[in-house]
Amino acid sequence: MTTSTKSTVTRTDGIGASPRRPDGTAKVRGEFAYSSDLWHEDMLWGATLRSPHPYARITGIDIARALALPGVYAVLTHADVPGVNRYGLEHADQPVLAEDVVRYRGEPVVVVAADHPETARRALERVEVGYEVLDPVTDAESAVAGQGAELHPGGNVVRHVPIRRGDPDAAAEVVVTGRYEVGMQDQAFLGPESGLAVPAEDGGVDLYVATQWLHVDQRQIVAALDLPEDKVRLTLGGVGGAFGGREDLSIQVHACLLALHTGRPVKMVYNREESFYGHVHRHPAVLYYEHGADRDGTLRYVRARIYLDGGAYASSTGAVVGNAATLGVGPYDVPNVSVDCWGAYTNNPPCGAMRGFGAVQAAFAYESQMDRLAAACGLDPVEVRIRNAMAQGTVMPTGQVVDSPAPVEELLRRVRAKPLPPEPSGEPDLRTLPGGVSNTTHGEGVVRGVGYAVGIKNICFSEGFDDYATVRVRLQVVGGEPAATVHTAACEVGQGLVTVLQQIVRSELGVERVTVEPSDTTIGSAGSTSASRQTYVTGGAVREACLRIRDALGALSPAELGDKVLDETVEWRHRPTEELHPETGQGNAHVQYGFAAHRAVVDVDTELGLVKVVALDCAQDVGKAINPQAVLGQIQGGSAQGLGLAVMEEIKTEGGVIRNPSFTDYLIPTVLDMPPMSIDVLELADPHAPYGLRGVGEPPTISSTPAVVAAIRAATGRALTRVPVRPEHITGT
């Protein structure tokens, strides 16, 4: 790393401040160009024909009648994919357009381009696809056991990760066991998938798209189109939320394919229903746990078997399995661990990245277990957690020694010390009852409960992945004033990365004017906007580039640069991580851990089975809050998604078919469901990270769900082993 004699400047618009977002004004004026808002003269509209069956053999595709429709410019099948008709984040196992078999309900089979979206939809209705319906595999556990059809060569196990530490036969005085289930959650970003592909004169294509990782999109597109990398150029369109759901391809190859075929710009926009089919979801899970402890609650061992349903294609299932396994015992010091986690292929909708990425499913189970253990030992739930809390120096189940602060105990103490909301008294305000003004019991059966949870998440990419970001920073004098520009391919998806990058440059170079250029593929990869990693990695890269510029400046101040342009491009990586040993799961797999704890207070109408989350308070260590306001926003947003999983959010599938692909039937928290939060932000520096910072976005999603469920258990005495908790689980009817 470069050394510099000048030090980082404290500024009101730099690191540690909360300056205005550079995209804020455009967003409140309605002028921010989301990918769905793009328009091009002469453009056509693309649409996708999807499989109506979860599993079927395709016996024939007849496109003649669709092609004959006036206004239709292209009707394409797998035969029109010039390159490799397979893509995927980890394994190239997913066809761009289905060939002989469809493996999930909603799988793309045919794409069309037409002069209007309605024409395109009509054309799809004229396509005739013959199907021979097959028996779908819809249960992950039996898929792992080898039952049912083999959906991919090599079998239906995408990945199995075993973790073995200590004595596999360890025994204990107190043993608690449980089987837990987590439903399939959806990212439900508000701006559905969309993009615009514009064919170029050089035979290539320019794609404007809302995504999380431009370069991994590009890599998959060029393989499918059989074009060299420089012929497929991507620019980030405005992103209406992501949460993991934009890490895989949706419209990308289809739009480019149609644009190249027609020679016309092609826009594709999914509607809400199609969006439920158009991206991966959070893996549903079945988890078996056994915790053994001394009578005083000290953990002796944890044994677990975790089954994650990856759906029809692998997506990022392998990495999700790695997380669920390595983080499977939670933020606790456990001497003897035996965890097995499997990700399975089934004919359910494909699952992949969603905020929390494997850590969420495990946390619901291990935190439920900690409450059971507390009850079995006659201990307070916070006390049992504190007694087992990991700390700096703890050896993880992978053998990795935690070498930065891990203030698990402190976080728990903090949420416990927060004042509780006042008990309801007198005539209830209907608006505050579970179910709100439509509550029909007027609150007679309402019981209050309090619950706690703490969670752990790995930050950045793990298991030996070469995780880096490329940035270019330039400094020059413009109009008599020093001005800096930052260019990266990192995706701003709403989290505020562009603000953070400006702040870092302002503090490092002491300039006020910092422009963040549009993200595109004319520069190297910045990696994915996921794993809570962008402030760490792209932020770290920007810092490094600034330090080099400071060195080049020498004794000069930026204003004294004259005509000189200082221009630094750097590729910055975090400390390397290691692969896990295939049999023991040992290895320094993660670069950093993040922690958050929640205390939830709920009112439960025990007659109606309705829940109102009255308070959801949080303490989280962020190492260093580069932008405190954005940190709070991430904690609130993550907590809300955790609340959603606890009490309302689930994609219901039946035989592989999604039953609720709409916001009427798939519920996400409204402003009435989400209480105002009291949040403690700790800043215990990680000595290995830029500015000591710790990734922020995911940890709050992890502990929020089990805390809410623990509170409902406290109110009702029910076991509640499945999320989301449904009214019938509470009423027992």
Partner 1 sequence: MRSDEPMGGFADDALVPADGEHGAEAFMPTRRTVLVSAGAAAAVTVAAGKGAGGAAWASAAGDTRVRTVGAGESVEVALSVNGQRRTVTVEPRVTLLDALRERLGLTGTKKGCDRGECGACTVLVGGERIKSCLTLAVMRQGAEVTTVEGLASGDELHPVQEAFIRHDAFQCGGCTPGQIMSAVACIDEGHTGSDAEIREWMSGNLCRCAAYQNIVAAVQDAADAGKKVRR
Chain residues in the site for ligand FES (CB under 6 A): 190, 241, 494
Pick what 265 binds: ligand FES, partner 1, none; C-beta below 5 to 8 Å, kind-dependent.
Answer: partner 1
Q: Which is nearer to partner 1, 552 or 681 (CB)?
A: 681
Candidate list 375, 437, 556, 719; residue touching partner 1; CB under 8 A: 437
Q: Which is nearer to partner 1, 633 or 692 (CB)?
A: 633
Q: Which is nearer to ligand FES, 404 or 495 (CB)?
A: 495
Candidate list 401, 417, 662, 719; residue touching partner 1; CB under 8 A: 662
Helix (H, G, I), strand (E, B), or coil: what is residue 31?
coil
Identify whether the C-beta of residue 592 lies closer than 8 Å to the C-beta of residue 718: no
- Is residue 38 within the footprint of partner 1 (CB under 8 A)? yes
Pick what 477 binds: ligand FES, partner 1, none; C-beta below 5 to 8 Å, kind-dependent.
Answer: none
Pick what 21 binds: ligand FES, partner 1, none; C-beta below 5 to 8 Å, kind-dependent.
Answer: partner 1
Tokens of 348: 């359910």
Q: Which is nearer to partner 1, 31 or 229 (CB)?
A: 31
Cβ 241 to ligand FES, closest distance in Å?
5
Helix (H, G, I), strand (E, B), or coil: what is residue 140?
helix
CA-CA distance, 529 to 375, in Å (whole number)? 40
Candidate list 432, 485, 569, 721; residue touching partner 1; CB under 8 A: 432
Query: In sequence order, what DSSP letters do the residues of 400-436 get, joined into one string?
Result: PBP-S---HHHHHHHHHHSPPPPPP-SSPPGGGSTTG
Task: Please report the beta strands in 85-231, taking only residues with DSSP state E, as ranges in sequence order.
Answer: 101-102, 108-114, 128-133, 157-165, 174-182, 194-199, 205-209
Candidate list 119, 488, 521, 606; residue touching partner 1; CB under 8 A: 119
Cβ 33 to partner 1, closest distance in Å?
4
- Is residue 641 within the footprint of partner 1 (CB under 8 A)? yes
Q: Which is nearer to partner 1, 584 or 670 (CB)?
A: 670
- 446-459 vs 722-723, strand pairing mode: unpaired
Tokens of 106: 């909603």
Cβ 474 to partner 1, closest distance in Å?
25
The continuous run of DSSP H or E covering 273 comes out as helix 272-278
299-309, strands of its sheet edge to edge: 157-165, 336-344, 299-309, 285-293, 174-182, 722-723
Q: Which is nearer to ligand FES, 26 or 190 (CB)?
A: 190
- Is residue 179 within the footprint of partner 1 (CB under 8 A)? no
- Is residue 555 within the footprint of partner 1 (CB under 8 A)? no
Tokens of 266: 């092609």
Pick what 308 binds: partner 1, ligand FES, none; C-beta below 5 to 8 Å, kind-dependent.
Answer: none
Helix axes 699-716, 359-377, angle to 10 degrees: 40
Cβ 190 to ligand FES, closest distance in Å?
4
Candidate list 676, 687, 728, 733; residue touching partner 1; CB under 8 A: 676
- Is residue 243 within the footprint of partner 1 (CB under 8 A)? yes
Cβ 80 to partner 1, closest distance in Å?
24
CA-CA distance, 129 to 62, in Å (whole number)? 6
- 299-309 vs 336-344, strand pairing mode: parallel
* 550 closest CA partner among 1, 126, 7: 7
Q: Which stretch binds partner 1 (CB under 8 A): 28-36, 100-108, 358-366, 559-567?
A: 28-36
Q: Which is nearer to partner 1, 265 or 690 (CB)?
A: 265
Pick what 192 binds: ligand FES, partner 1, none; C-beta below 5 to 8 Å, kind-dependent.
Answer: partner 1
Helix axes 317-326, 359-377, angle to 10 degrees: 20
44-50, strands of its sheet edge to edge: 72-76, 108-114, 44-50, 266-269, 194-199, 205-209, 232-236
Q: Which is nearer to ligand FES, 78 or 272 (CB)?
A: 272
Pick what 458 binds: ligand FES, partner 1, none; C-beta below 5 to 8 Å, kind-dependent.
Answer: none
Query: In sequence order, what DSSP letters do the residues of 596-658 get, joined into one string?
Result: EEEEEEEEEETTTTEEEEEEEEEEEE-SS-SSHHHHHHHHHHHHHHHHHHHHT--B-EETTEE
Cβ 189 to partner 1, closest distance in Å?
6
Of residues 203 through 222, those in contact with partner 1 by CB under 8 A are 208
- Is residue 427 within the footprint of partner 1 (CB under 8 A)? no
Burial class (CB in 10 A: 0-12, 13-18, 19+), 20: exposed
Q: Which residue is nearest to ligand FES (CB)?
A: 190
- Is residue 48 within the footprint of partner 1 (CB under 8 A)? no
- Is residue 196 within the footprint of partner 1 (CB under 8 A)? yes
Helix (H, G, I), strand (E, B), or coil: what is residue 518?
coil
Q: Which stretch binds partner 1 (CB under 8 A): 33-41, 85-93, 163-171, 359-367?
A: 33-41
